[in-house]
Amino acid sequence: MSSLKITSGRLANTDAETTVLIRDGHIAALGEAAERESADRDFDAAGCILAPGFVDLCCNLREPGNGQKGNIASESLAAAHGGFTTLCASPDTSPVNDSGAVTNLILDVAAKRSAVRILPVGAITRGLEGDLLSDMAGLASAGCIALGNGARPVKNARVLRRCMAYAQTFGLTVMFSPENQALAADGYAHDGLVASRLGLLGIPEVAETAAVMEMLLLAEETGVRLHLSQLSCARSVEMLADARKRGIAVTADVAMHQLLFTEEALAGFDSRYHVRPPLRSEQDRQALLAGVRDGVIDAITSQHQPHDSAAKQAPMAATEPGLSTIESTLSMGLLLVERGELDRASLVRALTTGPASVIGRSAELREGAVADLCVFDPAASWRQGDTNLCSVGRHVPLPGKDLPGVVRLTLCNGRQAWPHNNL
Amino acid sequence: MTANDPSSTSLQLTADGQLRHFLTLDGLNRTLLTEILDTADSFIEVGERSIKKVPLLRGRTVVNLFFESSTRTRSTFELAAKRLSADVLNLDINTSATSKGESLSDTLLNLEAMASDMFVVRHSQSGAPHFIAESVTPGVAIINAGDGRHAHPTQAMLDMLTIRQHKGRFEGLKVAIVGDVLHSRVARSQIRALNELGAAEVRVIAPATLLPRDVESLGCTVEYDMARGMKDLDVVIMLRLQKERMEGALLPSEREFYRLYGLNREKLALADPGCIVMHPGPINRGVEIESAVADGPQSVILNQVTNGIAIRMAVMSMAMGGQMAERNRKLAGRAEG
């Protein structure tokens, strides 16, 4: 049985220096008790922060079916590089994860090749087509931890209501990205100042807020546990807070890039920042940050969407949405901390205990817990370039910029996931 | 305030402020816009000669790269290039490579391999000329002939030339743009140009369904009522209305649009007596404009067409000049190094 002792690191939540002893995949001891023990290997974490391994509620692994954009091995390693130990895998695969067979395939590949823990999210409608219910109970028993429709819309409110009611029967959590398809139409940018100036087709805020309201009303009626994925509007955060007060069982997340960028990133037609939901106004960004700080928004996700280079080599309307973010999610968060827009405790909470609680898990550094850890140096910096990225997706949010925060060690189940040369 | 996009500015201009591409009017200052107008003025005389040619682009290859059908714009660009003595290649992309699945990037690589010097680009997607300008080999100039809803800078500049010819100035002018501003790349470029050149007021007159979100941020005021909007106008620019707007539930009918926003003699009478009437074309008589107004004494619509050739000659020669100057600077730098 191997053991590892991490010394001189500071706990993310208290900033207190401590020692952590890892043995047999678990945290065997903390603090003085850990100091007294010896281990097979020591890791000096001086100057580093010790945090629970990050949990991502929305990650596109592209396997099965889109090998040119990424695969479980490459994207899970990228996740470990970013300090993530648990990934909720989007059902947007090919074939779609709408059957136990596909779920089993994902879990089998993950068991063989993944650097971190993969938790599949099943498709709530067959083929993600949005009109027929998937075998939800079967998906859950195969290992899906929640159900959703990925980035695809459900056909109408009637289907959505039935999806929720059926999922509630089995106590399953449903995850939806709120977007009213009719209002979003052919849009691909925030319907605001920049879209008006550049003549981009806009997605109005109401495309999200109308869908949020509809989903909240249906969740209230059906009693399902609803998770709203990737909010982007100030008004959505307000509605979320009101719904919580009414006692609706609803949680929510925001993509990290929504907290850092606004519609202005599209000036100059940079299709790198073509994401969905679109980057919105500064007012929206501030409201989303406040939502994270106040705990109204439970989690920050990477919304990692690796692509091959051709997917972004076209005029914006013809490019595929999404950023390759999982390796820089922590750094983007630390940039916000540097700017004073987010405190480190809120950041770590939104990457760890917040998302873990959404899927009914825990993410804590305590004796007896599974050893999922991230050790990062907040004072060190790095630059994203072709030589130091693990993801197939090279359309990173801040290319060539000095980014704060270097992940020194990622442990998943006590096993070293990053750096990977010692696996 | 009209926002300027710094990335467009650095893409369009050389280090010493010369044009190297002509993609948008954003980021171009009054001095440069005036220089374009002055250069175009000097080319008007070329069109009046018996031999309508100057040798500025002799030996250069200009490719008209039209991903959207166009008659007027393509013809004037072709004429402009030929009057500058360039070799011109017209490509109908609708029936060529990209419709066979070739990507835009690959199409460009193939065209560059033919040693083209300039691409005149029309595309249905906003930002396509920017994408092409960022992709092409240095030394190749890109001229935007209209992209999606974004910009139609040569059309706006020929409109400015027409206004200057008839009004002699921009300062103090009250200009209205009437109709489908939402879908209009022309209107966006016109608003930008008028603001930069010092017009006193730019009004947009349209129903709310045909206006972009936060349209005032472009540098204009909004008027829903045409009668009020026509008051004291020096220039009225009518925009084209496409039939799809009714199908998209943006308007109830052409008839209602004409009744409320079509320019007829009664509405024109509400403007300043010297008000000129403009339209980027093609016009829909009885939808946007009454024939008696389109063909009337205040109409300068045909002048716009004539000025289109001179403006396009101006921007093509200036962009090629900018590319050449940049290339010579680099060569001189290497020689010194």
pLDDT given for residue A1 in this prediction? 55
Identity of the amino acid at B186: V
pTM over 0.75: yes
How many CB pairs lie under 8 A apart between chains A and B? 89
- For A345, the token pair is 């405790």
Residues paired with B122 in a beta bridge: B66
- Cis omega (within 30 of 0) on the bond before A64? yes
Residue B7 contacts A where some CB pair is shorter than 8 Å = yes
pLDDT given for residue B4 in this prediction? 46
Residue A196 contacts B where some CB pair is shorter than 8 Å = yes
The b/e string for B135-158 (b: 16+ C-beta within 10 A; e otherwise) is bbeeebbbbbbbbbbbbbbbbbbb
Nearest CA in chain B to A316: B127
Contact flag B212-A267 (C-beta cutoff 8 Å)? no
| Helix (H), strand (E) at residue A44 | strand A41-44
Interface test with A, best of B214, B217, B220, B247 (most A CBs within 10 A): B214
pLDDT level of residue A406 (50, 70, 90 thresholds): very high
The CA-CA-CA angle for residues B147, B153, B158, to 5°, reads 135
Nearest to A269 among B103, B131, B149 (CB): B131
What would the mean pLDDT of A46-74 be, rounded to a whole number? Answer: 94
Residue A192 contacts B where some CB pair is shorter than 8 Å = yes
**How far is residue B167's CA from residue A268's CA, in Å, rounded to a whole number?**
34
Distance from CA of B74 to the nearest CA of A (A): 21
Q: What is the pLDDT along chain B (337 residues), one digit of tens a residue?
A: 333 455 677 899 999 999 999 999 999 999 999 999 999 999 998 888 888 899 999 999 999 999 988 888 999 999 999 999 999 999 877 655 555 567 788 888 888 888 889 999 999 999 999 999 998 988 999 999 999 999 999 999 999 999 999 999 999 999 999 999 999 999 999 999 999 999 999 999 999 999 999 999 999 999 999 999 999 999 999 999 987 777 788 999 999 999 999 999 999 999 999 999 999 988 999 999 999 999 999 999 999 999 999 999 999 999 999 999 988 888 888 777 6
B127 vs A contacts (CB less than 8 Å): 198, 200, 269, 271, 315-317
Nearest CA in chain A to B184: A199
The CA-CA-CA angle for residues A179, A180, A182, to 5°, reads 140
SS (H, E, C) A149-185: CCCCCCCCHHHHHHHHHHHHHCCCEEEECCCCHHHHC
Nearest to A199 among B105, B135, B150 (CB): B150
Contact flag A192-B213 (C-beta cutoff 8 Å)? yes
pLDDT given for residue A2 in this prediction? 85
B5 vs A contacts (CB less than 8 Å): 197-198, 267-268
Contact flag B215-A269 (C-beta cutoff 8 Å)? no
pLDDT given for residue B322 in this prediction? 94
pLDDT given for residue B5 in this prediction? 54
- For A32, the token pair is 């003085």
What would the mean pLDDT of A396-406 be, rounded to a whole number? Answer: 95
- The Cβ-side half-sphere exposure at B125, using a 13 Å CA radius, reads 19
Indicate the pairing of strand A26-30 with strand A49-52.
Answer: unpaired
Query: A275-327 pLDDT, tens per residue?
Result: 999 999 999 999 999 999 999 999 999 999 999 999 999 999 999 999 999 99
B185 vs A contacts (CB less than 8 Å): 199
Residue B103 contacts A where some CB pair is shorter than 8 Å = yes
**Do the Cβ atoms of B218 and B164 come closer than 8 Å?**
no
The candidate with the shortest Cα–Cα distance to A302, out of A338, A342, A330, A336, is: A330
Residue B130 contacts A where some CB pair is shorter than 8 Å = yes
Query: A68-118 pLDDT, tens per residue?
Result: 999 999 999 999 999 999 999 999 999 999 999 999 999 999 999 999 999
The candidate with the shortest Cα–Cα distance to A237, out of A293, A187, A194, is: A293
Contact flag A204-B131 (C-beta cutoff 8 Å)? no
What would the mean pLDDT of A182-202 be, rounded to a whole number? Answer: 97
Contact flag A204-B213 (C-beta cutoff 8 Å)? yes
pLDDT given for residue A390 in this prediction? 95
Residue B213 contacts A where some CB pair is shorter than 8 Å = yes
Contact flag A314-B150 (C-beta cutoff 8 Å)? no
Residue B11 contacts A where some CB pair is shorter than 8 Å = yes
**How far is residue B289's CA from residue A291's CA, in Å, rounded to a whole number?**
52
B147 vs A contacts (CB less than 8 Å): 199, 315
**Do the Cβ atoms of A226 and A174 come closer than 8 Å?**
yes
Distance from CA of B6 to the nearest CA of A (A): 8
- For B64, the token pair is 């008209």
A191 vs B contacts (CB less than 8 Å): 213
pLDDT given for residue A192 in this prediction? 97
Residue A73 contacts B where some CB pair is shorter than 8 Å = no
pLDDT given for residue B248 in this prediction? 81
Contact flag B213-A191 (C-beta cutoff 8 Å)? yes
- The Cβ-side half-sphere exposure at A358, using a 13 Å CA radius, reads 34
A310 vs B contacts (CB less than 8 Å): 103, 105
A188 vs B contacts (CB less than 8 Å): none
The total of other beta-carbon atoms located within 10 Å of residue A297's CB is: 27
B150 vs A contacts (CB less than 8 Å): 198-200
**How far is residue A153's CA from residue B109's CA, in Å, rounded to a whole number?**
37
Interface test with B, best of A269, A273, A283 (most B CBs within 10 A): A269
pLDDT given for residue A421 in this prediction? 61
pLDDT given for residue B99 in this prediction? 54
